[in-house]
């Protein structure tokens, strides 16, 4: 396991370890507390104090974050006020969420770095577009719920007037569902590449704003949600990161989760992870995309591996004493 103090022979002391960090929802807002801007900012401040310790330990980091609850509230506000001001399309709501979450993180990160004696490191949030394939099969089976609940009658009107795909959601009402295509290209990647050596970059909020390339080469936003862990894996792969660090609510990945025979995993190979996936150990929309992203990144280049752990265990996990490591077979 690589750390900043202990490196393999081909990673000298002059080459810092590159880490792309994927933040889960618990890093942005605390369950059980009202989702005010102040409460969210306080949660982000605690998160950034831990992330700053990674920088202080010598790791070079970039930060990818989720936006599920936040973009849902932005969409709700927009739809609720449609009689007063035009509702914004979903891709615009995604951009709005990137802006305010990125603002919170970059502000809190600068404060945390200053406390670690690293006030010379700039931090910037980057509104990020992510290219998706318009022929991705996900567009034929939209399944990601977004926005507020509607009655069946209201849902029928939205289907007819706006062409939305609506689905009944666990007896709670009807919701709009959108596709969740795979990320193909980080549009602003060159910006990240130029900033990497000097700046901590916050990017691909909520998985990035999904866009498709039109016939004339221009980009157009589409109503979709990209999984933020898969987007983080794509960023890590393209930038040549050494480690993809996926932070979530649990300290380790487990099989038979929540059962008496639950087994926490300190490490697993990509092949073992795929067996566990086939056996249905990881829940869709929860641990499954994290493990899939970890496998994707680990297989993308020699010497790469992923770590899944909780925010509190991040430093220890990078040093090999906590979390779950996803490794190549060799």
In terms of Cβ atoms closer than 10 Å to its own Cβ (0-12, 13-18, 19+), residue 182 is middle
Orientation of helix 287-298 relative to helix 270-278, angle to 10° = 150
User: Catalytic one among 24, 25, 94, 323?
Assistant: 25
Return the DSSP state at 201.
E
Report d(CA 222, CA 243) in Å as an integer: 30
Half-sphere exposure of 36 (CA within 13 A, CB side): 5
Q: What is the helix, strand, coil percentage profile of the chain, to 5?
A: 40, 25, 40
Report d(CA 125, CA 106) in Å as an integer: 6
Q: Is 144 a catalytic residue?
A: yes
Longest dimension (CA), the chain: 66
User: Catalytic one among 67, 102, 147, 228?
Assistant: 228
User: Catalytic one among 18, 66, 144, 234?
Assistant: 144
Q: Is 25 a catalytic residue?
A: yes
Q: Is 26 a catalytic residue?
A: yes
User: Catalytic one among 7, 26, 72, 193?
Assistant: 26
User: Catalytic one among 66, 205, 206, 290?
Assistant: 290
Phi, psi angle pair for 205, to nearest 5°: -55, 130
Residues annotated as catalytic are 25-26, 144, 228, 290
């Amino acid at each position: 396991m690589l750390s900043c103090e202990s490196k393999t022979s081909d990673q000298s002391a002059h080459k810092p370890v590159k880490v792309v960090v994927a933040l889960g929802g618990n890093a942005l807002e605390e369950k059980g507390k009202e989702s005010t801007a102040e409460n969210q900012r306080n949660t982000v401040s605690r998160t950034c104090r831990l992330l700053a310790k990674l920088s202080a330990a010598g790791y070079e980091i970039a930060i990818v974050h989720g936006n599920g609850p936040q973009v849902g509230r932005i969409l709700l506000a927009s739809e609720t006020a449609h009689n007063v001001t035009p509702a914004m399309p979903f891709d615009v709501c995604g951009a709005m969420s990137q802006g305010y979450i990125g603002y919170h993180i970059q502000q809190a990160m600068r404060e945390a770095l200053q406390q670690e004696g690293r006030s010379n490191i700039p931090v910037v949030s980057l509104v990020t577009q992510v290219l998706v394939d318009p022929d991705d099969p996900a567009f034929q089976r939209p399944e990601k719920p977004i926005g507020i609940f509607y009655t069946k009658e209201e849902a029928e009107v939205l289907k007819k007037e706006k062409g939305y795909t609506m689905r009944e959601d666990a007896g709670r009402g009807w919701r709009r569902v959108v596709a969740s295509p795979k990320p193909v290209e980080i549009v602003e990647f060159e910006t990240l590449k130029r900033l990497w050596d000097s700046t901590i970059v916050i990017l691909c909020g909520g998985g990035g704003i999904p866009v498709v390339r039109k016939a004339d080469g221009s980009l157009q936003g589409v109503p979709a949600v990209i999984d933020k862990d898969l987007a983080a894996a794509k960023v890590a792969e393209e930038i040549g990161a050494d480690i993809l660090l996926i932070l979530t609510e649990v300290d380790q990945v487990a099989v038979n989760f929540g059962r008496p025979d639950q087994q926490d995993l300190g490490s697993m190979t990509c092949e073992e992870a795929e067996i566990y996936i086939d056996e249905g150990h990881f829940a869709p929309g929860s641990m499954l995309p994290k493990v899939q992203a970890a496998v994707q990144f680990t297989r993308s280049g020699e010497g790469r591996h992923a770590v899944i752990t909780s925010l509190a265990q991040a430093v220890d996990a990078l040093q090999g004493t906590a979390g779950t490591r996803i490794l190549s077979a060799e």
